[in-house]
Amino acid sequence: MTEQTQTTACDKPDLLKVDDVTLQYKTPQHLVTATYKVGFTVQESERYVILGPSGCGKSTLLKAVGGFMAPVSGTISIHGKSISAPGPDRMMVFQEFEQLMPWKTVLQNVEFPMRATKKFGRAESRQRALSMIDRVKLGKFRDAYPHMLSGGMKMRVALARAMAFEPSMLLMDEPFAALDALTRREMQEELLGLWEQFRFTVLFVTHSIEEAILVGSRILVLSPHPGRVRAELDASRLGFGEVDSAEFGALTKRIHGLLFGQKLEAVAKGI
Amino acid sequence: MSGASLDTRTPQSRAPQPRPEFEREPIDASGVGDVERPLGFVERLTNNDAVRRLAILLVLGLIWELYARWIDNPLILPTLGATLTTFFGDLMNGVLIDRVATSLRSLLLGYFSGIFLAALFTTVAVSTRIGSDVLATLTAMFNPVPAIALLPLALIWFGLGTPSLVFVIVHSVLWAVALNTLTGFRSVPETLRMSGRNYGLQGIRYVALILIPAAFPSILTGLKIGWAFAWRTLIAAELVFGVSSRSGGLGWYIFEARSELETDRVFAGLLAVILIGLIVEAVIFRFIERRTVLRWGMQR
Ligand SMILES: Nc1ncnc2c1ncn2[C@@H]1O[C@H](COP(=O)(O)OP(=O)(O)OP(=O)(O)O)[C@@H](O)[C@H]1O
Ligand SMILES: [Mg+2]
C-alpha cells in the first residue's frame, strides 16, 4: 500500500473512479479518438500521475475528469457520484500562465474561487488566502498584479489559489512544463512540501518520466495515441533523496521501455 | 565580473586566458533602497499624456495666431485671440454652455442607449450560435453605413428633434461597440475560460466576472471608437438640421455663426467641439485606461 497513515476510511478509499473511458473529439473533418477504454482509480491523498507520450490524450483525460468533456463511453465518478459538469471540488491548475486573472492582484486571485463559490466567508477567505500566499513565499507580492510576476511566481500563485480552496482533488496538467529546469525542480519540491503538510489528492499529468517518479506515488503509463492503459506502477518510495539510487534508475528504464518499446530502448542503450 | 582579464588580452591571442574560479557570498543588496519609489515631479509631468498634449496644443495655437496676423483677414481666418475672446464671451453669457449642454444631452442619451443595445446583442451572440450569426451579419451590413446617411430616414420616422439625433447616434455607437466586444470575448484565452467555469461560474456571473474584465481592452477600444463616431455624427447631424431646428446644439451654433458670417464664432464653435473631444479622450478615457488595462498590464 502507498499511504497507510491516511487509509482510515477503509470502506470507501476510492476518491476518483475512471471506468473504461473513451474520449473523442469531433471536428468538422475528423473524428479523433484521444483515449480508448482507459480505467483507473485514485485514492484519497494519493499523488496519482498520468504519464504518456505527447498526443496520447493526457490533457483530454484530465479535461474529462474536470467535467469539461463528456466521455463517449464509460463513466467517471468522484465520491461515487458521476461527473457531469465542471465544479470547484476539482480544482484545475494549468500549464499556461494566463490562468491567473490579470485584473486581480495576487491576493484577489487567491481569494476569488473561495468568494465566487461562497464556500468561505469574506474574513475566512482573506485569512486563508494570506496564509497560503505566505506558505508559497509570495507574502511580499500579495498586492502585485500577475504581469509583474515571473513565470515561477505565477505558478506559485496558481498553486496557492487551488490549495487555499481545499478541493477534494487537485487536477494539474503539466503545471511545471513551461518553467526552466531550476524553477521546475523548486516547484516540484514545493508541491511535495505542501503535500506533506496537507495530504491532498492530486491527479498530475506529465510527459517527463523523472517528474512522474519524483512527484507521483502512483504512475499510470499510457500508450501512444490513442491512449490506452499500458501499466500502473508504484513510485511512493522514490523521492528527491533517491534520484541517484539504482531503484530510481531501474524504474526510469522500465517506464522508458513501456513508453517506447524494446526496440527504441535498445537504440537508446546503444548510444 | 572581473575586468582585469580584459586588459591583458591582446588582439592576437583570441583564445581566452585561463582564469581562476571563485565562489563568494553575494554582496549586501540592502543598498539598493526601495524596490518601488515615487517618480520625481518633472518625471511625472513628462510622463503625463495630458501635459504633453497640452504642450503640443500651445505650439499649434502659437502658429495659428502668427499666421492669422500675417494674412490679416478675419473673415477667412480670425486670430486665435479673437476666437478665444468670442469663445470666452459666449461661455460667460451662457450661450455656448447652453449649446454644449443640449448637444451632450442627446449625445449621452444616444451613447448609453447604444452601449446598452450592444451589450444586449453581444450577450445573445456569445450564448447562442444563431445570435452570433445574426450579429455578424448585421454588423457587416450596418458598420460601413455612415450614420449621417441614415439621417433622412430618421427625419421621416422621427421628425426634427432629439429622437432623430439619438437614432443616428445609436447607430454610430452600436456596431462599433458590439463588434469590439464580441472580438474581445472571442479572444479570451481558453485557460481563463476554463478556470472560470471550473469555479462553477455560469451565465451572467460568468460574463460579468470573467469575460468582461478579460475582454476589457477590446471593450474599451470599442467605447472609444463609439464615442468618436457619436460625437462626429452628432455635430454633423446638427449642422444638417440647421435652419429649421430649434433644438440648438453645438452644430447649430456653428451653422448660425456661418450664416451671419461671424467666422470667429465658427472657430469658437469648432474649438468647443475639439475641446470636448480632447477632454473625453485625454482625461476621461485616459483615466479609465490608467485605472484598468494599464494597471493590469493588459495594454501598454
Ligand atoms: N480541441 C481538439 N480538437 C480535436 N482534436 C483534439 C483537440 N485537442 C486534442 N485533440 C487530439 O486529441 C489527441 C490527444 O490530445 P491531448 O491534448 O489530450 O494530448 P496530450 O497527451 O495532452 O499531449 P501533450 O503531452 O502534448 O500535451 C491528439 O491526437 C490531439 O490531436
Ligand atoms: Mg497536454
Has residue B222 got a pLDDT over 60? yes
Does the CB atom of residue A4 touch ligand 1 within 6 A?
Answer: no
Chain A positions touching chain B (beta carbons under 8 Å): 66, 68, 86-88, 90-92, 94, 96, 98-99, 101-103, 112-113, 116-117, 145-148
Residues A172-216: tens digit of each pLDDT: 999 998 888 998 998 899 899 989 988 999 999 998 999 999 999
Q: How far is the CA of A50 from the centre of ligand 2 (A)?
A: 11
Has residue A37 got a pLDDT over 80? yes
For the record, the C-alpha cell of B285 comes out as 478615457
Question: Could you tell me how many residues make up chain A?
Answer: 271
Residue A127: what pLDDT? 95
Position A64, amino acid: A
Cα A51 to chain centroid, rounded = 11
Q: Average pLDDT, stretch B213-239?
A: 92
Smallest CA-to-CA distance from B181 within B207, B215, B206 is with B215
CB A163 within 8 A of CB A170: yes
Residue B33: what pLDDT? 64
Average pLDDT score, chain A: 88
Residue B43: what pLDDT? 79
Element (H, E) at B116: helix B95-127
How would you label A122-150 residue by residue, b for 16+ Cβ within 10 Å and e otherwise?
eeebbebbbebbebbebeebbeebbeebe
Q: Using CA atoms of A163, A165, A167, A173 in order, give the dihedral in degrees to the nearest 10.
A: -50
Q: Which of A86, A91, A147 sits opposite B297 (nearest CB)?
A: A147
Query: What ipTM is given for this predicted complex?
Result: 0.84
For the record, the C-alpha cell of A26 comes out as 469531433
Average pLDDT score, chain B: 86
Rounded Cα distance between B85 and B74, Å, is 13
Q: Average pLDDT, stretch A142-167?
A: 92
CB A38 within 8 A of CB A20: yes
Strands A14-26 and A73-78: antiparallel
CA distances in angstroms from A57 to A34, A174, A195, B256, listed in the order given = 5, 13, 26, 72
Query: Which of A154-168, B138-152, B245-259, B272-286 is predicted with the least confidence, judged by mean pLDDT?
Result: B245-259
Smallest CA-to-CA distance from B177 within B223, B232, B121, B135 is with B223
Q: What is the pTM of this model?
A: 0.81
Position A242, amino acid: E
Residues B147-175: tens digit of each pLDDT: 888 988 988 998 888 888 899 999 999 99
Residues B96-148: tens digit of each pLDDT: 898 899 889 989 999 999 999 999 999 888 878 898 899 989 999 998 888 88
Q: Which of B201, B214, B295 sits opposite A116 (nearest CB)?
A: B201
Residue B23: what pLDDT? 83
Pocket test for ligand 1, best of A25, A95, A208 (most atoms within 8 A of CB): A25
For the record, the C-alpha cell of A182 comes out as 531550476
Q: Average pLDDT, stretch A41-69?
A: 93
- Residue from B188, B197, B198, B210 to probe the interface with A (highest A Cβ count within 10 Å): B198
Query: Which of A32-36, B186-190, B236-240 is predicted with the least confidence, judged by mean pLDDT?
Result: B236-240
How far does A103 lie from chain B, in Å, by closest CA? 5
DSSP code per residue over B198-230: HTT--HHHHIIIIIHHHTHHHHHHHHHHHHHHH
Does the CB atom of residue A38 touch ligand 1 within 6 A?
Answer: no
For the record, the C-alpha cell of B111 comes out as 451613447
The C-alpha angle A51, A52, A55, rounded to 5 degrees, equals 135
B209 touches chain A (CB under 8 A): yes
Q: How far is the CA of A173 from the centre of ligand 2 (A)?
A: 7
CB A145 within 8 A of CB A102: yes
Does the CB atom of residue A93 touch ligand 1 within 6 A?
Answer: no
Q: How far is the CA of A58 from the centre of ligand 2 (A)?
A: 6
Residues B43-94: tens digit of each pLDDT: 777 777 778 878 998 999 999 999 999 998 888 899 999 999 999 999 999 8
Instruction: Judge: A94–B210 Cβ closer than 8 Å, yes or no.
Output: no
For the record, the C-alpha cell of B205 comes out as 456571473
Q: Using CA atoms of B250, B252, B256, B259 in order, give the dihedral in degrees to the nearest 10.
A: 120
Element (H, E) at B138: helix B129-142
Q: How far is the CA of A162 from the centre of ligand 2 (A)?
A: 19
Residue A6: what pLDDT? 45
Q: Which strands make up the sheet holding A14-26, listed edge to edge?
A: A31-43, A14-26, A73-78, A81-82
Has residue A48 got a pLDDT over 90? yes
Rounded Cα distance between B178 and B173, Å, is 8
Report whether CATH 3.60.70.12 matches the domain A14-89+167-268: no
Has residue A112 got a pLDDT over 50? yes
For the record, the C-alpha cell of B1 comes out as 565580473
Residues A78-109: tens digit of each pLDDT: 998 999 899 999 999 998 888 999 999 999 99
Residue B13: what pLDDT? 63
Does the CB atom of residue A198 touch ligand 1 within 6 A?
Answer: no
Nearest CA in chain A to B292: A103
Query: What are the backbone dihedrals phi and psi of residue A38, each rounded to the nearest 5 degrees, phi first?
Result: -90, 135
Residue B37: what pLDDT? 67
Q: 507580492: which residue's cell?
A: A141
Rounded Cα distance between B33 and B197, Å, is 43
Question: Could you tell me how many residues make up chain B?
Answer: 300
Residue B36: what pLDDT? 64
Contacts of B90 (CB under 8 A, 6+ apart): B96, B265, B268
Has residue B5 got a pLDDT over 70? no
CB A227 within 8 A of CB A35: yes
The more confident residue out of B6 and A33 is A33
Residue A9: what pLDDT? 44
CB A164 within 8 A of CB A128: yes
The more confident residue out of B193 and A13 is B193
Partners of B18 in the β-ladder = none
Rounded Cα distance between A174 and A96, Å, is 9
Q: Quote the percentage of chain A above a pLDDT of 70.
A: 92
Smallest CA-to-CA distance from A25 within A58, A72, A75 is with A72
Query: Which of A46-60, A111-125, B248-262 is predicted with the least confidence, judged by mean pLDDT?
Result: B248-262
Element (H, E) at A37: strand A31-43
For the record, the C-alpha cell of B298 comes out as 493588459
Q: 499624456: which residue's cell?
A: B49
Residue B85: what pLDDT? 93
CB B254 within 8 A of CB B100: no
Q: 467517471: which residue's cell?
A: A76
Nearest CA in chain A to B294: A103
For the record, the C-alpha cell of A36 comes out as 480508448
Q: Quote the percentage of chain B above a pLDDT of 90.
A: 42
Q: How far is the CA of A207 from the centre of ligand 1 (A)?
A: 13
For the record, the C-alpha cell of B63 comes out as 502658429
Rounded Cα distance between A89 and A168, Å, is 5
For the record, the C-alpha cell of A156 comes out as 506559485
